[in-house]
Structure 1
């Protein structure tokens, strides 16, 4: 089941360190089969509020997503982002094909 790494970047200081981070991140994803789905896009807000930009990266599974984030290659460049952007990142599993929202209700009652 696919797993996703998301970053909600509220502010970004677009400087030399961020440029270096962007130039190096693709190489960190390749060994873990990660691929960008969304990169630095400001969404069109249709309900509520959202400040900043969104990044979404897809991995084949949670093991590879976690291994990517914890890898030496990514940990070496991570400070380039955290020093120059506010926001946060998280990893979350996707749902299986055919998933229905009502499944969440049944799971919650268990």
Structure 2
């Protein structure tokens, strides 16, 4: 069953840290092959707190999503995200396609 990692950027504090995050996070995807379904495109908040943007990555399953998130390469990138912006990040099981 597919799994989705959803990252919502709520507020940016340091653009330079986010530039480093973007470079390192892109490199951290290598070997994990997530499929980007949304990547900071146009959006509209219909309910809830405002945000600056969102990313949705599809992985084959929860184990693959966790392996990417917990990888040394992404953990290194994540440090810059923590310094650069406030995010909400979660992994959710998808449903089998009919």
Q: TM-score range by the shorter chain?
A: 0.7 to 0.9
On the 8 A contact 2:14/2:83 being kept in 1, the answer is: no
Report deviation, 1:87: 2.5
Structure 1 unpaired stretches of 5+? 99-110
Q: Which runs of 5+ in 2 are unaligned?
A: none
Higher relative contact order (CA closer than 8 Å, sequence separation 6+): 2
Alignment size in residue pairs: 97
Partner residue in 1 for 2:87: 87
Structure-2 residue corresponding to 1:74: 74
For residue 24 of structure 1, what is the aligned residue in structure 2?
Answer: 24
Computed over aligned residues only, the root mean square deviation of the Cα atoms, in angstroms, reads: 1.6
Deviation, structure 1 residue 92: 0.7
TM-score (norm 1): 0.77
Aligned to 1:106: none
